[in-house]
Amino acid sequence: MNAILPWAVHFALGCFSLAMVFALIRLLRGPAAQDRILAFDTLYINGMLTILMLGIGTGSAVYFDIALLIALFGFVGSSALAKFLLRGEVIEP
């Protein structure tokens, strides 16, 4: 089973990298702002999963903390963008 793990990690890294390229294309070419926000969500989730795969591959716990920070900032950013699209402002008076 240990012989399969490095291959699986490399395969997952390749898949997540390909998904990040597609999300970046959608982020740049998206016809609407909602498409760009969805692409941003997909981009940070795939980035977080890439960092997690690197952590699993190297066996270091530092990557898991970095992935947690990426998830936290990505959620805050996407919720702020969604609120901006709904109301036109992020901070209400």
pLDDT at 2: 80
Domain around 61: 4-87
> Average of pLDDT values for 66-73?
94
Torsions phi, psi for 3 (to 5 deg): -75, -25
Residue 47 predicted with pLDDT over 90: yes
Sign of the torsion angle spanned by Cα atoms 35, 16, 20, 84: positive
Total structural domains within the chain:
1
pLDDT at 93: 65
Q: Of 91 and 4, which is predicted with more confidence?
A: 4
Residue 36, domain CATH:
1.10.287
